Amino acid sequence: MPDAATHLPFYYGSISRKEAEEYLKLAGMMDGLFLLRQCLRNLGGYILSVVYDVRFHHYPIERQLNGTYAIVGAKPHCGPAEVCEYYSKDPDGLCCNLRKPCNRPSGVEIKLGIFDSLRENMIRDYVRQTWKLGGDALEQAIINQAPQVEKLIATTAHERMPWFHGDILRSEAERRLYTGAQPDGKFLLRQRGNSNSYSLAIVYGKTAYHYLIDHDKSGKYAIPEGTKFDTLWQLVEYLKMKSDGVIYCLKESCPNPNLPMGAGAPVPPSLPKNRLGGGIDGYTPEPVFNGSSAKSDSPTGCRKPGVLPMDTSVYESPYSDPDELKDRKLFLPRSSLMIDEVELGSGNFGSVKKGVYKMKKKQIDVAIKVLKSENEKTVKDEMMKEAKIMHQLDNPYIVRMIGVCQAECLMLVMEMAAGGPLNKFLPAKRDQMPTSNVVELMHQVAMGMKYLEEKKFVHRDLAARNVLLVNQHYAKISDFGLSKALGADNSYYLARTAGKWPLKWYAPECINFHKFSSKGDVWSYGVTMWEAFSYGGKPYKKMKGPEVAAFIEQNKRLDCPANCPDEMYKLMQDCWIYKVENRPDFVDVESRIRTFYYSIAVKPEEAKDLSKGAKRTNPNPI
C-alpha cells in the first residue's frame, strides 16, 4: 500500500514525536502550525502534530475498516490530505483549526520507516517463492496482490530482523546478550514456545531484564498495559525512540547468529508455502465460489487472502515451461483434445464447449469455440483472424489461446474461465460480493487492457459479457472477434464499413468516424465499469444504439450506479470524455483504479484502544 501522504509538503514520514516537536519549534510555534507524520503503532495510520498556546498536541489519525481516515471517534475522510483540509476549516474538537503547514525544510526528505524500505523486496520474494512466478506474471502478481501480501508480510517481518531470535530459552537469550560487549540497551526478542507470545530481553547495568509481550484478542502486540502495536517490529522501533516503561530505550540489537546476512536484510521469506493460508489466522483455502473470503476479517484484522489469481493453474502461461514451449504451434493435433458435450456458452459463430487438452507434462481444462456453419468461408476466416490475434497475446488477465484445431470442424481452443461472463456472474453473486471485490476485478481488467494498449491491439468489444471469470477474484478479458493489431505506425484502426457493432459501448469517434484506438477501448471500459458496479445492469436501459449515440452527443452520460464509490464513478465519467485527446489512456486508468483498490483492499484493524496504558517502571517477572 503506497503511503497516501507522500505528496504532502508537511508530511515527514517516520519521525518521532520529539523530532516533530523540534521541527515545529524551528518553524516558530504559532497557533495552528501543524505537520503530519507516520504513526509508528498503527499500520497505515498517521499522527497530526499541532501547536496551540505554545504547546504541542498530537492526534492519531487511523485508517478505518472501510479504508477511510479519521481522528479516533471523529468524522471520516477519504485520505490524510482531506483530514487536514477539513480541520483547517473547522477545529471540530481539536485544540484549534490547522492554520499554517509546517513544511519540510529544503533538503529534508520524507523519512522512510523500517518497513517502507523492506516492503518491496519482501513482497517480491514472497510472491516469487510462494507461487513460483517469474517474468511478467511475477510483476503483475506483485501489482495486483500487493495489498493482501503486504499486510501478511508486515505481520511477519520481524522474522527477518537481526534482533529476532525465534524460539530460544530465557537462559540462551541471556547467554547471547552476555556474549561480547554489554552496552545499556542491547536487546533481543524471542518467541515463547510455539505460542503467540514473545519476550523482550534488554541489558541495563550489565543485567538482563525480560518483558513479556502479549498478542491480545484484537491482534495487537503490547507489553502488558503498555502501548499497543500492530506488529512486533513497530513495537521495537517505538521502544528505540521511547522507553515507554521499559527500563531503558532499545539501542543496539543483539544479532541472531542463525540469521543469514543479518541487519534486516530482505532475505527470502522462511514461511512455508501454506503460511499464507494457515499461519497467521488459521485461514484455510475456501471453495472458489463461496465468496466469503472477501468479506471476512480475521481476529487479527488481517484480511484473509482468500482465493488469489496465482492460486489457479491459469495464472501463468501454459507455455511458461520451456519443455512445453518447444512444441508450441498454432495448430493442435486432434488426438490431444478431448471434447465434452457440455456447452459453456454460445455466440454468433456457434457454440463454446468444455474440454481437456493434453500437453507434454500436464493436461489443462479448455474452452473450445466450435464453428457452426463450417462451409461459410468468411466465418472461417473470421475465426482464423481471431486466433491469430489471440496467439500473440500472453497476459494473466487475458484469456489465452492454446491453439486451433482443424478436424471435424474448425475449433479455437482457449484456456478455461469456468466462472463465465461477468454480466451473468454479478447478479447471481451480488450478496457475496462487496464493492471491493468489484474494484478488484475491474482493476484486473484494467491491467489486461493496459497490456493490450502497450502491445498496440484494439479490442473493440470490451463489455461485461466479454470479461470471463476464473473465480470470484480473478477476471480475464475474452472475445477477440472484433480485435485488430494496429501495427507500429498507427494509433487507430479505420473501419471501412460499419458492421454489427456494440454501439452502446462505443466512443463517439468510433461511431462517427469509424476510428478505433485504445482510447475507444477506454470508453468501453467505462461502460463495462458501469455494468460491473451496477451488478450486471443493462446500460442505457431500453434505448437503441442510435438513440444512445444521440444521448451522448447531448453531453448526457449514464448515471452513477447505486452504492458505487464516488472515485469509481468519477473514473467512468473520465472514460467518457468526448474528446479523444482529453480522455485518459489505460496507463492512467489502471493507475487510478489500482490506487483506489489499494486504499480499500487492506482493512486495518479495529484499533479502538488508543489510550496509553499505565506506565510500568518494573519489568514483568517472567
DSSP-H helix ranges across 517-582: 518-533, 545-553, 566-575
| 204: β partners | 207
Tell me which of 421, 448, 526, 565 binds ligand ADP, using CB under 6 A: 421
Q: How far is the CB of 385 from ligand ADP (least distance, A)?
A: 12
| Residue 62 binds which entry of ligand ADP, Mg ion, none, CB below 5-8 Å type-dependent | none
Residue with the closest Cβ to Mg ion? Answer: 479
Tell me which of 367, 458, 464, 601 binds ligand ADP, using CB under 6 A: 367
Tell me which of 436, 466, 471, 599 binds ligand ADP, using CB under 6 A: 466
Dist. CA 229–CA 240, nearest whole Å? 14
Task: Name the nearest CA neighbour of 212 among 173, 161, 157.
Answer: 173
138: CB partners within 8 A, 6+ apart: 124, 127, 128
Query: Closer CB to ligand ADP, residue 110 or residue 366?
Result: 366
Q: In 3-state terms, the chain is what percent helix, strand and coil (to 5)?
A: 35, 20, 45
Q: What is the DSSP string of 450-461?
A: HHHHHTTEE-S-
Tell me whether residue 534 is exposed, middle or buried, using C-beta atoms within 10 angstroms of its C-beta: 0 to 12, 13 to 18, 19 or more.
buried
Residue 417 interacting with ligand ADP (CB under 6 A): yes
Count the residues of the shown chain that bind ligand ADP, applying the rule CB under 6 A.
19
| Residue 460 grid coordinates | 473493440
Query: Closer CB to Mg ion, residue 466 or residue 599?
Result: 466
| Residue 507 binds which entry of Mg ion, ligand ADP, none, CB below 5-8 Å type-dependent | none
| 447-476 positions binding Mg ion, by CB under 5 A | 466
> Three-state SS string across 68-119, please?
CEEECCCCCECCHHHHHHHHHHCCCCCCCCCCEECCCCCCCCCECCHHHHHH
Q: How far is the CB of 584 from ligand ADP (least distance, A)?
A: 26
Residue 399 interacting with ligand ADP (CB under 6 A): yes
Dist. CA 163–CA 189, nearest whole Å? 6
DSSP-H helix ranges across 219-304: 232-241
Is residue 461 annotated as a catalytic residue, yes or no? yes
- Which part of the chain contacts ligand ADP (CB under 6 A), choosing from 91-99, 148-156, 296-304, 413-421? 413-421
Q: If DSSP codes are grouped into helix, strand and coil, which group holds residue 159?
A: helix
| Residue 345 binds which entry of ligand ADP, Mg ion, none, CB below 5-8 Å type-dependent | ligand ADP
Residue 386 interacting with Mg ion (CB under 5 A): no
| Residue 468 binds which entry of ligand ADP, Mg ion, none, CB below 5-8 Å type-dependent | ligand ADP
| 471-530 positions binding ligand ADP, by CB under 6 A | 478-479, 481
Task: Name the nearest CA neighbour of 152 among 29, 279, 20.
Answer: 279
Residue 420 interacting with ligand ADP (CB under 6 A): yes
Query: Closer CB to Mg ion, residue 159 or residue 461?
Result: 461
Residue 15 interacting with ligand ADP (CB under 6 A): no
Strand pairing category for 484-485 and 457-458 = antiparallel
| Residue 482 binds which entry of ligand ADP, Mg ion, none, CB below 5-8 Å type-dependent | none
Tell me which of 21, 62, 479, 509 binds Mg ion, using CB under 5 A: 479
Query: Closer CB to Mg ion, residue 133 or residue 412?
Result: 412
Q: If DSSP codes are grouped into helix, strand and coil, which group holds residue 373?
A: coil
Tell me which of 122, 188, 189, 414 binds ligand ADP, using CB under 6 A: 414
Residue 168 interacting with ligand ADP (CB under 6 A): no
Q: If DSSP codes are grouped into helix, strand and coil, which group holds residue 279?
A: helix
Query: Closer CB to ligand ADP, residue 212 or residue 418?
Result: 418
Give, in order, the Cα–Cα distances in Å from 84 to each of 59, 175, 497: 11, 50, 55
Tell me whether residue 486 is exposed, middle or buried, using C-beta atoms within 10 angstroms of its C-beta: 0 to 12, 13 to 18, 19 or more.
middle
Query: Closer CB to Mg ion, residue 436 or residue 466?
Result: 466
| Residue 314 binds which entry of Mg ion, ligand ADP, none, CB below 5-8 Å type-dependent | none
| Residue 421 binds which entry of Mg ion, ligand ADP, none, CB below 5-8 Å type-dependent | ligand ADP
Residue with the closest Cβ to ligand ADP? Answer: 347
DSSP-H helix ranges across 417-561: 422-429, 435-454, 508-513, 518-533, 545-553
Dist. CA 65–CA 68, nearest whole Å? 7
Query: Closer CB to Mg ion, residue 200 or residue 445?
Result: 445
Q: How far is the CB of 320 from ligand ADP (least distance, A)?
A: 18
Q: What is the DSSP string of 192-239?
A: -TTSS-EEEEEEETTEEEEEEEEE-TTS-EESTTS--BSSHHHHHHHH
Helices 135-156 and 586-601, axial angle in degrees (round to 10): 20
Residue 398 interacting with ligand ADP (CB under 6 A): no
Q: How many CB atoms lie within 10 A of CB 297?
A: 16
Active-site annotation holder among 281, 311, 394, 461: 461
| 287-346 positions binding ligand ADP, by CB under 6 A | 344-345
Q: Describe the strand order of the beta sheet including 207-215 as a list of residue ranges.
A: 187-191, 198-204, 207-215, 221-222
Q: How far is the CB of 197 from ligand ADP (least distance, A)?
A: 49
Dist. CA 68–CA 222, nearest whole Å? 25
Q: How far is the CB of 352 from Mg ion (least distance, A)?
A: 9
Query: Closer CB to ligand ADP, residue 151 or residue 465?
Result: 465
Q: If DSSP codes are grouped into helix, strand and coil, which group holds residue 497?
A: coil
Q: How far is the CB of 543 from ligand ADP (least distance, A)?
A: 21
Query: Closer CB to ligand ADP, residue 183 or residue 347?
Result: 347
Q: How far is the CB of 478 from Mg ion (least distance, A)?
A: 7
Query: Closer CB to ligand ADP, residue 344 or residue 462?
Result: 344
Binding mask 344-363 toward ligand ADP (x if CB under 6 A, else -) reads: xx-xxx--x-----------
Q: What residues line the site for ligand ADP (CB under 6 A)?
A: 344-345, 347-349, 352, 367, 399, 414, 416-417, 420-421, 465-466, 468, 478-479, 481
Q: What residues line the site for Mg ion (CB under 5 A)?
A: 466, 479
Active site residues: 461
